[in-house]
Structure 1
Amino acid sequence: MLNMARAPAQARGSRGLNCLAGKMQANPICVPTVSNDTGWDFCFHLSQQTAIPAQETDDLFTACHCEETEEDTAVQEAGMTVDCMSIPKQKLAQSQKKINQFINEKMSTKANKELIRCFILSQIVFGKEHWKCAQASANLAYGYLTLRGLPAQAKKHAEKARNTLLTWKRNTTSDKDKKEILETLVILYYTLGIAWLLQNHGKQAYIHLQKAERNMKELKELNNDNIAGIQVSEKDLTIALGRASLAMHRMNLALAYFEKAICGVILAKGHDTSDLISLYEEIAQIEQLRKNHEQAIQYLQQAYSICVSSFSEVSPQTAEASALLAKAYAMSGESQHRDAVEIYFIRSISTYQTLGSEDYETLTTIEDFCTWLIQNGEKQEAYRLLKSTLNSGTFGDCGKKVAETFYNMGSICFAKGELREAIELLRKCLMIQSLIYGSEHTKSIETKSLLSLLQRASLSRWKKEAAPGRKKSVCRDRME
């Protein structure tokens, strides 16, 4: 009837104590089709064209035609030959600088467009089969994954670049080129691994991430263990391998990867760095799945302490960490943890309400707390808390959560035998669900079925109460 699991969101604030793989299956990232992205469509099909278009909306291809500037004219008049590739090379260098600028300014879409521009200019400057062009394709794949969250597009570009890079790696004689190719292969296989993971294919993800790990090892050997500045860090790769292991339900392997990632972060930044928060929260999920509740609680206590010291007690990060800690205590099932469950849930809810801008998270935490209250026989307290939440009137933009709250309140009333109140609450729930999801959605149908059941039960009860024998009995009681 009620579910302790929190539905995941795109941000870190959505982590609960459920299995990461289960969360991916329940709420997979929407993967748009190729036709939904015109930039992708253009640059991918460019390689299939027999000739480069003579005109384009921006100045990419006019650059290829080497339009004459005043400086070019002066050079030609002096009898000097103009290098036709100089302008595309200049534009490629400019575009590469812009990418870093846009990424630093959090302008993801513009950064991705510059990656497309780099890919096209690399085709012009180096040729479609050159490893530099494959490198640009791999960078674009990584951009589609990290900047846009589009794994299907990322996979297409990464796969397109792979064969060219592998051929050049075997044949190259320059150590400098080999280092760049190895770094690009790390990016490429990491991109493929994460893309497969986002599409709920744990085994394929793990295979590709292992290839990224092998190439990173080779890069370290070639570079005397110095891989500072590489786009995909060892930490990123280790965490990804841990998540892929978790998706394959290999808990011990996943645990080993996360322990390795945590040790690496502590060595690099110390025990109090905020980088450890998400790692402690994820490793706690693994310990929960392994039924090691006390160990999970210890990890989440560490995460909570770092949140307090890094962000203060009144912050979204601390509110989330407090909620996760409360759920960890609740999931242990130990009676000695009852007070801790209540303390941390109340602390989290209070922090969210103080901040005033975390409506969805507040409702979710209240719902989790009420679930625990109901499981422990405190239905009246759960109902009171849910009712006070709705009466506050601050959750108008969270229709889905409001509908869930009405459903939960109706379920509580049903369990208590208060059919009239339950029917009224479920009607409100159904009205909101029909507006949000439509009347034929699974959630709406489920609520409608429960509502019909309660209405029949209510009618049956009313008939019994209205029966002649029942009336006489009532009259007799009153006369006496």
Structure 2
Amino acid sequence: MSLAPHSGPFRASQQSCSVTALDEPFTSFNMSSSASSGESLQETDSTIISQKADVKNYSMMTPAEKLSLCERRAQSLADSEEYDPCIQELVRCLALSRLVYGNEHFAVAQAQSRLAKAYLQHKGWAHQAQEHASQAHEVLRSSQQEERRSHLSCLLTIHQTLGNAALLLGNLAEAESSFQKAEIVVGDLVVQEAMGKEERVDIEYEIFTNLARVYQRQGKPEKALSQCERALELFQKGDQLSRICCVYRNMAAIEQAQGHLDRAIEHLLLAHSIALRQSPGGLEGAQIAHSLALAYSSTSEPHHNDSAAHFFEESISVYRSALGPQDTLTLSAQDDFSHFLLLTGQQERCAEIQKESLAYKKRTFGELSAEVAEALQLIGGVEMTQGQMRHSHRTLKKCLDIQNMLYGPQHKKTKATQRTVDMLSQSPEIGEGHKDIGLETRPPFCAVVSSVSEVTSSMSNS
């Protein structure tokens, strides 16, 4: 079982700790415009500059003045998080740089590297970022020697962008090489006294964290943990608590992947303590509590059950108060808790939680959703073990109807539920409308589904 909840810590850490932000795909911008300066410059003035005064004067400007204006506008749009128009301005900057300086000037390499970084950072377009960063690198190598500091700063952006793009594309050896080159460039910038301490910490943290991701995906956990340790050493004074917390969560993920649950729990407890100190009752603490609950419930040691239940309840409580009972994180944590309760023989409480969440699941996921079907399956199964045959038959029939719609009658889930419904339909309690039978004659829970593991696996995969 993974320690990461369905949308939780180690996936959530990708939101709070990742280097690149992956936004929704952008389809309205023509990618080929970056290849031709003429096409970019032939657009109407009103589409280039939005301010009336700039539109009025734009046609009178020299290309160099237009370049300066577009650079300022691109920065302004980035600051205001208007990423699509920002990228359009950066494309114009590239076209104007070629027009003003020629194709092999350092300014063109700068413009190309900025565009590559924007594609990756604002849109998550790894292929485009890789192409432009590679072109920037070629221009940088063939251009006349620029001032050393500027040259190194541009080279650093290129290597970081190439590394992040390669990581997204799964080219791990290329990503490792790019990040290692970026680390060397950082050292050169420090020697040149061209980088302040705070900036150096930020960049090295990013490099070490990404190298840890590379090594983890390469199946080299010791190297990955070593990079995490290097990241922790950057914050020896105890500042940057959110980053320290993120590193511990990453270390827990690495240890968990190796089956070292005890070590994973140690890292998560440290992260949890930091998160609560930084923001009591905050979402990050709830996400870590959720991971801790999953970790404790995965150990198969009965003395950890109390800890698992405690952290499940803590995470659900915070999710409900901060996000609401209908939020996917809340519902996911409740499903994982139900999962745990089922495995520890607390079937009635499991059914209670599923009944409470059923209306919210219908509202969030829809009446005909896998989440609703799985909740009905659990509720019907518990009702059957309690001898409530008529209730169970009605509940599982609803589940079957949804599964037929979602998966079709030949799917293994549909067939399993169909067998149970058929069995219940043939019982005299259903056919003759008798009252629910006594608990002493109830069937075992495994009669409802093929095994407990089938239920838990289906909930985990949703």
SS in 1 for 2:29: helix
CA offset at residue 53 of structure 1? Answer: 6.5
SS in 2 for 1:396: helix
| Pairing partner for 1:146 from 117, 121, 128 | 121
CA offset at residue 343 of structure 1? Answer: 0.8
SS in 2 for 1:274: helix
Which residue does the alignment assign to 2:86?
Answer: 111
CA offset at residue 131 of structure 1? Answer: 1.9
Deviations 1:271-329 (A, max 9, x none): 5722222222111111212333233222222222222222222x322221221222222
| Pairing partner for 1:455 from 375, 395, 418 | 418
Which residue does the alignment assign to 1:125?
Answer: 100
**% same residue:** 23
Counterparts of 1:360-379 in structure 2, within 5 Å, are 360-379=328-347
Assess if the C-alpha contact under 8 Å between 1:219 and 1:227 holds in 2.
no
CA offset at residue 363 of structure 1? Answer: 0.6
Which whole-Å CA distance do the structure 2 matches of 1:228 and 1:166 have between them?
A: 29
Which residue does the alignment assign to 2:377?
Answer: 410
Which residue does the alignment assign to 2:31?
Answer: 41
Counterparts of 1:1-150 in structure 2, within 5 Å, are 6-8=5-7, 14-15=12-13, 37-46=27-36, 55-58=42-45, 87-150=62-125
Assess if the C-alpha contact under 8 Å between 1:326 and 1:344 holds in 2.
yes
Which whole-Å CA distance do the structure 2 matches of 1:397 and 1:463 have between them?
A: 35
Which residue does the alignment assign to 1:79?
Answer: none
Structure 2 residue identity aligned to 1:101: S
Which residue does the alignment assign to 1:352?
Answer: 319
CA offset at residue 222 of structure 1? Answer: 3.3
| Pairing partner for 1:259 from 229, 236, 241 | 229
1:290 aligns with 2:289: no
Which residue does the alignment assign to 1:179?
Answer: 149
Assess if the C-alpha contact under 8 Å between 2:67 and 2:93 holds in 1.
yes
Deviations 1:395-434 (A, max 9, x none): 6133499632531541564586667256324236437xx5
Which whole-Å CA distance do the structure 2 matches of 1:124 and 1:12 have between them?
A: 46
Assess if the C-alpha contact under 8 Å between 1:31 and 1:151 holds in 2.
no
Which residue does the alignment assign to 2:136?
Answer: 161
Which whole-Å CA distance do the structure 2 matches of 1:338 and 1:130 have between them?
A: 65
TM-score (ref. length: structure 2):
0.76
Assess if the C-alpha contact under 8 Å between 2:163 and 2:174 holds in 1.
yes
CA offset at residue 46 of structure 1? Answer: 1.1
The aligned length equals: 412
| Pairing partner for 1:430 from 389, 403, 418 | 403
Which residue does the alignment assign to 2:242?
Answer: 274
TM-score (ref. length: structure 1):
0.74
CA offset at residue 459 of structure 1? Answer: 3.1
CA offset at residue 45 of structure 1? Answer: 2.9
Assess if the C-alpha contact under 8 Å between 1:12 and 1:278 holds in 2.
no
Which residue does the alignment assign to 1:247?
Answer: 217
Which whole-Å CA distance do the structure 2 matches of 1:43 and 1:204 have between them?
A: 28
SS in 2 for 1:450: helix
Assess if the C-alpha contact under 8 Å between 1:140 and 1:157 holds in 2.
yes
Structure of larger gyration radius? 1
1:398 aligns with 2:376: no
Structure 2 residue identity aligned to 1:57: T
Structure 1 residue identity aligned to 2:418: Q
Structure 2 residue identity aligned to 1:333: S
Assess if the C-alpha contact under 8 Å between 2:293 and 2:307 holds in 1.
yes
Which whole-Å CA distance do the structure 1 matches of 2:423 and 2:369 have between them?
A: 30
Which residue does the alignment assign to 2:459?
Answer: none
Deviations 1:204-262 (A, max 9, x none): 32232222223323333333775754797111111111111111111111111111112
| Pairing partner for 1:234 from 204, 226, 231 | 204
Which whole-Å CA distance do the structure 2 matches of 1:401 and 1:300 have between them?
A: 37
Which whole-Å CA distance do the structure 1 matches of 2:179 and 2:423 have between them?
A: 61
Which whole-Å CA distance do the structure 1 matches of 2:303 and 2:152 have between them?
A: 54
Deviations 1:92-115 (A, max 9, x none): 333333333333333333332332
Which whole-Å CA distance do the structure 1 matches of 2:4 and 2:277 have between them?
A: 28
Which whole-Å CA distance do the structure 1 matches of 2:125 and 2:269 have between them?
A: 35
Which residue does the alignment assign to 1:322?
Answer: 289
CA offset at residue 361 of structure 1? Answer: 0.4
Q: Residue 273 and residue 450 in structure 1: after superposition, are their counterparts in 2 closer, same or farther (change >3 A)?
A: closer
Which whole-Å CA distance do the structure 2 matches of 1:209 and 1:61 have between them?
A: 36
Which whole-Å CA distance do the structure 1 matches of 2:129 and 2:409 have between them?
A: 38
Assess if the C-alpha contact under 8 Å between 1:403 and 1:428 holds in 2.
no
SS in 1 for 2:43: coil
Structure 1 residue identity aligned to 2:337: F
Unaligned runs of 5+ in 2: 430-462
Which whole-Å CA distance do the structure 1 matches of 2:239 and 2:368 have between them?
A: 37
Structure 2 residue identity aligned to 1:454: T
Which residue does the alignment assign to 2:433?
Answer: none
Structure 1 residue identity aligned to 2:317: S
Which residue does the alignment assign to 1:311?
Answer: 279
Q: Residue 8 and residue 182 in structure 1: after superposition, are their counterparts in 2 closer, same or farther (change >3 A)?
A: farther
Q: Residue 308 and residue 294 in structure 1: after superposition, are their counterparts in 2 closer, same or farther (change >3 A)?
A: same
